[in-house]
Amino acid sequence: MKAELKKGSINHIIQDTDIYEAGEFLDSIAMVVKGRIRVHGYGLNLVVGSGCFLGIRDLNRGAHGVTYTALTNAVIYVFPSSGAMSDLRGIMKINKDYVALMVVGLHRSLAEQERAYEELQEAAEGSYEMTFRIYHKCRQLAQETGTVFEELAAVEKLHPFDEPQMLSLDKVHYYQACAKVPMDVQKAFYGSSAEICIYHVREQVGLLHQLHDYSKSLTEYLSQMMHYLILDGRNLYLAVSGFAQTLQRAGQDASGVMTDLDEVIDRINSLESVLQKRADVECVIDRGTMEETYYNLLNPSHGTGGPDVPGDTLALVEDCGVDVSELVDSLGTILSFGEIEQERAERFEDLVAQFEALEDKESSTDEARSLRRNLMKDYYPIYEKVFLKDYQSAEEAPTEVELFLRYGFLSERLLREDMIEDLLTLDQGSIYQNGCHVFDMKEWLTAVMDGDRMPSKNEFDMDYEEFLRDKLKNKEITEEQKKSLLKSRKQRLHFEVMNMFRLTHRLVSGQIVSFVPFLYTEGCSNLERNFLSKEKVSAAFNRLRRIDYSVFYREVLYTGEISGIKKEFIQVEVCPDVILMPTVGSRDIMWQELSGRKRDSEGRLILPAFLEGDLDKTVAHLAGSFRWELCRTMQGVYWNNIQYKSLTSEYSDFLQFYRKNRDLSDDRKEKLKLQIQKHRNNSREIFAADYMNWILHESQGGMLLSKPVREIMATYCPFTQELRQNLQEQPVFMNAMARFERERAKKCKEYDMKFRVWEKDQVEVPPEIVHTKEFYER
C-alpha cells in the first residue's frame, strides 16, 4: 500500500504503508515525528525512528534508491524538495534544530549499516569456508571408501568474496564518535552554518551509498551461495545427504557425514536469517523436502529405493530416465533427426561453434550482431523441419529434440551441467488447466497442425485467411491455390513459425539487441526457479480472476432459438490461450484479443517458458493489455468516442484532458505527465500500468491511483463482491464504486422483470441467460 503525501504538512501513516518506493521520483523528503520506519531495498534493511529524515540519502540523485515502509503507525512531516542537496538551506531556515536531527539520524543509520555490512561479510566468509571444507571432505571420503559423491560444477568454481579495498572505515568510525557528542553541542555546531551541515550530510550520504553498494555485492554473493547450498536443483544439501545414504547402504560409517549435514542445515538457516534481516532478501526453501530427506537418513528403512538398492548407486538415482552424460553432440542429434540438408546443417553448426567461442556472448560489436542475425536466419527453418518430423513420426523423439522444441535447448556445450539437469527434470503438465489453456511451443504448433487452433496474426495484424486473401488480391496466387493453401497443414505451420513464433520469440526475451533463440549459460540465471509450469501459470491467472472476476467476460448475442425470447445479450467468460516461448525472458506480450472474427473466441497471450520476473505482476500487466484491446475491438470505431461510454473512451478522454481536470493536484498532473512520457504516449501501456496498481495494491486497500482513474477502474474492472464490501468501509473506494453499484442494481432490476415475464409465460430460460443474471448479481 502506498501513501498519498501532502507536502508542507503533518501526515499520518498507517502501519505497513509505503511512504516512498524505490525508483519513485524524489519530490519531497520527510521527518519522522513519531513511529518506526523500515528502510529497505536489495542489500539493505534497517529501522529508523523519530527525528530521522526519509529520502535525504537520495538528494541529488533524482529518485529514491530504497523503499520506506511504516513499521508501526507513524506521523511524519513532509518537506517539498527539488531533489537537490541545497534544499537543506530552506529546512534550516524553518528550524535550525532540524539540521542537527538530520545529521544525528545519519550517524545512527551509518552505524547500523556498518553493523549489517560486517554481519553479511562474516556470513560470506563462514559460508565459503564451510562449503569448501565439507565438499572436498566428502569427495576425499568417497575416494577412500570406493563410493560415489556427486560432483557439483558450481561449487568446484566457488571462490571467496572479494572484499573491497576502497571502503574508508575511519570516516565511518569518526561519525560514530560524533553521534556520542551531547545533543545541545551538536545543535549549536550544525545549526551555526548551512555549509557545515551540507558538508557533513553530503559526506555521510556518500558513505551510506558506498556501504550499500558493497552490501549489494555481498548479498548477491550470499544469494548465490544459498543456491549452491539448497535452492538449486543440484545442491550441497542433496549431495551430502545423498552421500550419507550411499554410505549407509554400503554398510559404512556415516556419522561424520551426518555431522557435516547438520552443519550445512545450520548454515542454511543462518544465511536465510541474515539475508532477510540485513539484506531484505527472502529465500523460498522447500522445507518439506529437506525434512523428508533428513527423516529418511535417520530411518533408513523408510528411505526412497528400499533396502535392496545398491549403496554405490543410490546417490545417482534421478527422477528422469536420461542422464546428462548421455547427451553427447545434441546439436548433431537435432539436425540429424530433422533431416536438415547438409549444407544448412554444416553452416548452422559452424555458426553455433562461433557463438560458443565468443568471450562476450552479449557483445554489441558488428561481428557479434552479424553472427546472431545469421543464427536466427537458419534457426526457424530448422525448428520448423524438426517439429514437422516429430509431428509425423510415430516413434518417440530423442530427449535432445524434446528439449529443443519445448525449451530452446540446442547443445550441451552451451549450458552448464546443472542447468541441463534442471531441464531434464522439468514437469510439462497438462494443457487443459482450470481456466486458461497453457501450451508450450511444441503443443501449440501441434494444435495449429491439427486444426484445433488457427494460425496467429502476423506483424501486419492479418490472420492466415486475410493473408491469403491479400495474396489473391495482388494476383500472387490463384483462387485454387488459395483454397489449397488454406487446407494445407504444412503451410499453416510455416505461417505460424515464420510470423508469430519468430517475432514474439525475440520480444519476450527482453534482449532485443543480444537475443539468440536458444539457451546458453550466460543468458540464463536459475532455470528451475524461473520455469513457468502450466500449473503455476494457471494458478496466477486464477488468482487474478479472484480479484477481477469479469476480466475475461464479454457481451455477445445469444444465438439459441427459444420461443418467447427474441434478442438477448449474454455475458460469457472466454479465458485466453497462453503460449510459452522456448526462451528465458522478462517480457509478456498480448498478441491477440480474439482468435478470429467471433467475439467469443480465445485471445492469445505469450510468456517466456523461463520468466525472470514476478509472475503476478506479469499476469496483471497482460490482463490490463487484454482488457484494453478487447474493449477497443468490441467498440469498433467508437473506442475513443466519449459519447459512447466504455473503458477505452473514458480513459482516453482522461488522458487527453488531464491538464484541465480539477480532481488532479499539480503533483498528480506532473506524475501523470512522467507516466505518459515513460510509456511513450501509448494509451494501452499507460492503462496497463494503472491496472497493475489497481489489481496488486488498490485491491488490498492501497491508494496509488488518482480519483478519476480509480472511478474508471471501479466501473469497468470491478473487484469481487467480497473485496468490494471490505473496501467500501473507506469513503474513497465507496465513492469510486458508487456508479458501478448503481448500474449493477439497474441491470439486476431489469433481469428480475424479464424473469418474471418469462416465468409467467412459462418460458424455459436457457442456462446461458441464467448465468448472465447471476453475473450481474455478483
pLDDT on residue 341? 96
As given in the structure block, the three cell numbers for residue 178 are: 560524533
Average pLDDT, the chain: 89
437-460 mean pLDDT: 94
Report the run of H or E that residue 420 belongs to, with start and end: helix 417-424
Interatomic CA distance for residues 422 and 206, integer angstroms = 42
How does residue 168 score in pLDDT terms, banded at 50, 70 and 90? low
Residue 62 has pLDDT above 90, yes or no: no
- pLDDT per residue over 39-60, tens digit each? 999 999 999 998 899 999 998 8
DSSP β-bridge partners for residue 13: 74
pLDDT on residue 312? 33
pLDDT on residue 746? 96
User: Can you give the pTM of this predicted structure?
Assistant: 0.63
With a pLDDT cut of 70, the percent of the chain lying above it is 96
190-199 mean pLDDT: 79
Structural contact between residues 614 and 689, judged by C-beta atoms closer than 8 angstroms: no
Q: Which residue has the cell 467468460?
A: 573
Q: CA-based diameter of the chain, in Å?
A: 95
531: left (phi over 0), alpha (psi -120 to 50) or beta: beta
666-692 mean pLDDT: 93
Q: Are strands 53-54 and 553-557 parallel, antiparallel or unpaired?
A: unpaired
What angle, rounded to 10 degrees, do the helices at 194-226 and 255-279 form?
150
592-601 mean pLDDT: 91
- pLDDT per residue over 91-115, tens digit each? 878 887 787 788 888 888 888 888 8
Q: Which residue has the cell 504503508?
A: 17
Interatomic CA distance for residues 574 and 576, integer angstroms = 6
Interatomic CA distance for residues 240 and 297, integer angstroms = 11
Of the candidates 101, 59, 96, the residue with the CA atom closest to the CA atom of residue 203 = 59
195-205 mean pLDDT: 85
DSSP β-bridge partners for residue 77: 10, 31
275-286 mean pLDDT: 90
- pLDDT per residue over 219-230, tens digit each? 999 999 999 999
Interatomic CA distance for residues 436 and 430, integer angstroms = 11
Q: Which residue has the cell 533524482?
A: 62
Amino acid letter, 227 = H
688-696 mean pLDDT: 96
Residue 313 has pLDDT above 60, yes or no: no
Lowest mean pLDDT among 173-187, 473-487, 589-603: 173-187
- In sequence order, which residues have a C-beta less than 8 Å from that of residue 548 and are 6 or more positions away? 623, 695, 717, 718, 719
23-32 mean pLDDT: 92
463-487 mean pLDDT: 92
How does residue 775 score in pLDDT terms, banded at 50, 70 and 90? very high
How does residue 581 score in pLDDT terms, banded at 50, 70 and 90? very high
Structural contact between residues 441 and 401, judged by C-beta atoms closer than 8 angstroms: no
Instruction: Look up residue 43 and give its DSSP letter.
Output: T
How does residue 298 score in pLDDT terms, banded at 50, 70 and 90? confident
624-628 mean pLDDT: 97
Number of Cβ within a 10 Å radius of residue 357: 8
With a pLDDT cut of 90, the percent of the chain lying above it is 65
